Every structure is written in structure tokens, then in C-alpha cells.
Amino acid sequence: MNHKSGFVAIVGRPNVGKSTLINALIGEKIAIISPKPQTTRNRIMGVYSKPDYQLVFVDTPGMHKGKDLLNKSIDKIAVSSISDVDMVLFVVDSIKGAAEDHIIQYFRGIKVPIFLVINKIDLLDGRAGIDEVIMTYLGSYDYEAYFPISAKDHIHLDKLIETLIPHCPEGPLYFPEEMKSDQSENQLMKELIREKILFHTEQEVPHSVAVVIESLEENDELNTLDVSALIIVERATQKQILIGKAGEKIKKIGTEARKEINHLLNTKIHLTLWVKIKKDWRNRPSDLKAFGYGDES
């Protein structure tokens, strides 16, 4: 009786800390993070359950004006995510600019509370720095409230959750109490591999990469899960960079991904990585769909 359930979209431009925020709110890593823009490519749900309420946070890709078909599809996913939720957290980390104006235009006509969340306050100049950021957003939209937080340092997150609860409608337990995310183990493995690629490559390589899990086989003899993953790139030079001299870079990526997959999934895996060239895959609808980046409606 009187149980509350609310869906909360987390939106913002690339690199403002949306994935760090959802990981902090849920209490475990469900979304990959990196310093590179457009780390998140898909909508990810994180479930926060208590006896009398359930908050379902929806991590979205960074809203931006995409050029290739992949980025246009990513932006469409982010925009569609704010149309069917109960609340929106608009995450920013600096004074308002053109990128934020691009996002705010999508708030017009939305009839749910939108909270302005100022993240990374640990990098701002105290209260004065926070106030400076807030002042640039005054008048841009009728925000329900302003929240200065640090997702990295878990500052003011409890207060944020407390403020969201009254805005939740009465509703059932949409997901089991023990569930933390809607991501499958297959999807999480793909993303963890891509996360390590993001950390170890520069320039165009991170944005040109897709990861596909080709096979999963139980190895009873070694008591492991043998995973074969294919890394897709667009050019031969990108393949060379990924593999590295004498295969050192791909080996390092594989080792780090394997360790984190073992830890997060509590499963001992043997990981094999392959690199394949698929020219211009980011502009080919059939490839986007095959690699898990089709449009979401």
C-alpha cells in the first residue's frame, strides 16, 4: 500500500559525469566511465529499491549534435529518454553554454519536474563558484530545484534522493528488489572491454570502436567461461594502434577487461580479443543494428 515508483532520466552534455552519478546512486558499477566524450552509447537503467519506494534511474548518452549516423542515433536515444519519465536530472558541471542550450530546447512542453544538478562541485571555487554556475541557468527554464553535488565524492546524493521521492507517483515494484540494472552480462562485458579501449587509445580510435561478443563457452576443465570478443574499427591504422607494438596494447586491454569482468560478474573468464576492420560502420544502419546501436523508440 502507498508504494511509490518513479523513473528518473539523467541527461546532460557529454562528460558531465552522468554515468559516475548513476553508479554512485546505485552503489555499484553498472555504467562504464572514461574521460572521453560519448562514452555512453545506450540507455542504461539503474534500480534503487527501498521498502516503500523504487527509483529507476535512466542513464542516457550525452546530448549533442551528432554528425555521423551513430552519433545521430545516440542523440535520438537521449532525447527520447525524457519523454516517458516522471522526473529529469539535468546534469551540468560549468556555466551554461551552447551545448546546454541545445539540451534545454528539448525541455519545452515537458510536464515533469526537471532538477538542475550541478556536478563536480569539488572542482568549483566553493559556494561562490556554485552560485556563479547557477546564475547562468536562471531564466533558462523553470527548474524544480537546484542541486550542487559531487558524484565522484558522493556529496549531497542522499539529499537528492530524498527530494525526488515526493515527486514519485504511487506505483508497483517494477523490478525485483535485488535487481540493480537492466544490463545483461553480455552487454556489460562488451562495455567493460570498450571502456579499457577508451582509456588506452586516443584521437579518433575510441569513437570508431564497437565490441561484439562472438562466443561464450563453459570450460569445465579449467572452470572458466571462455569469452571471444570482436573489436570493430573502421581503418587499418586504427587496427594497428589497437594491437600495438608486438601486440602489447591489445594484451593490456584484454588483461584489464578480464580482471574487471571477473570482479563485477563474480565469474572467472578467459578472454580472447580479435580486431576486425569494417569500413564506415558508423554510417551504415545494418551495422549499427548488428552492433547494438539501432534506434530506440
pLDDT digits (tens, 9 = 90+) for 252-262: 999 999 999 99
Whole-angstrom CA distances from 168 to 107, 123, 181 are 19, 31, 19
pLDDT tens digits, 240-294: 999 999 999 999 999 999 999 999 888 899 999 999 999 999 999 899 888 888 6
Domain architecture of the chain: domains with CATH: 4-167 (3.40.50.300), 185-290 (3.30.300.20)
Strand partners, 230: 212, 274
Strand 87-92 to 114-118 pairing: parallel
List of residues 6+ apart from 203 with CB closer than 8 A: none
pLDDT tens digits, 48-89: 999 999 999 998 877 666 667 777 776 777 777 777 899 999
For the cut 60, the answer to whether the pLDDT of residue 152 exceeds it is yes
Confirm whether pTM is higher than 0.85: yes
